[in-house]
Amino acid sequence: MWLFATVRRTHAQSADSGGILVAASGVFRSSPLRLLPGQLTAIVVAISFSAGLNVYLTVATLGLLARAEVLTLPPSLDSVASWYVIVPCILLFVIEFVADKIPILDLVWNALQTFVRVPVAALLAYGASAQLSQGAQLIAALLGGAIALAAHSAKIAARTAVSHSPEPFSNFALSIGEDGFVVFLTWFASRHPYWASIMVLIALLIVISLLGFVVRSFRNLFRGARQGLTNTFRSDSPE
C-alpha cells in the first residue's frame, strides 16, 4: 500500500509539473506579442528602414518568417503572414528586381515607389505599435514613414553615384546588395532589435551628413524620370 501510494503521489506530481510546463510554454510562445517599449521602437526603426529600401521584399520576408515561426507578429499584423499578402509581394519584388536593371525604367519605378514605400512603412509601424496608446501609434507611424523616406533617399543617392559608370556591374551589384541587406536586417531585427536599430541609426547619420547630395539626387530622380518618359513618348509618336 505504501508503494502504491508513493507511485500515485509521484504520478500526480509529474502531471502537475507537466501542466506547469505546458502553461509556461504557452507564456513563452506568446511573449513576443508583449514587447518592451524599447524593443518595439527598435524593431519599428529597423523594419521601416528595410521598407524604405524595398517594401515588397520586407513584407514578404516578415510574412515568411512569421509562417516559419521564427517571429510572432502582433495581431494587428496577422494579415502579413497570409499567402494572399506574401505571394503578391513576391511577384512585385520580382518585377522590381527586373525594373531596377533597365535604364529609364528604373528611374520611373523608383520615383513611383516613393509613394509606396513611405506609406506602407508608416502602416507597418502603426500596426506594430498596436499595444501602445493611440498617440504613441501615430508617433510610431510618423517615425516609420520618416525613416523609410530617409532610406529611400539614401538608395536614390547611391544609385545616382553609380549611374555614370559605363559598365552595368556596379548597378547590378548594388541592387543585389540592397536586397540581401533587406532580408538580413528584417531577420536580424526579430532576433536582436537593439543591434539592428543601432545599424540603422548609423546609416541615418551617414544620410544626414550627405543631405545635400541626397536632396540633389532626389530631384534628379524625378527630373530624369520625367525626361525619360517624355523621350519615350516622343520616339513612339508618329512623325
Q: What is the 3-state secondary structure (H, E, C) of 146-160?
A: HHHHHHHHHHHHHHH
Determine the pLDDT at residue 67. 93
pLDDT in the model for residue 167: 62
Q: Which conformational region is residue 69 in: left (phi greater than 0), alpha (psi within -120 to 50 degrees), or beta?
A: left
Q: How many residues does the chain have?
A: 239
Over residues 166-224, the pLDDT tens digits come to 666 777 888 899 999 999 999 999 889 999 999 999 999 988 877 776 667 666 666 65
Does the predicted model carry a pTM greater than 0.85? Answer: no
Q: Angle at CA 180, nearest 5°, toward 115 and 185?
A: 75
CB 143 within 8 A of CB 44: yes
Over residues 118-171, the pLDDT tens digits come to 999 999 999 988 888 889 899 999 999 999 999 998 888 777 776 666 666 777
Mean residue pLDDT across the chain: 78
CB-based contact 222:153 (threshold 8 Å): no
SS3 214: helix
What is the model's pLDDT at position 75? 87
Q: Residue 3: which pLDDT band, with cuts at 50, 70 and 90?
A: very low
The mean per-residue pLDDT over the stretch 10-28 comes to 40
Average pLDDT over residues 55-84: 92
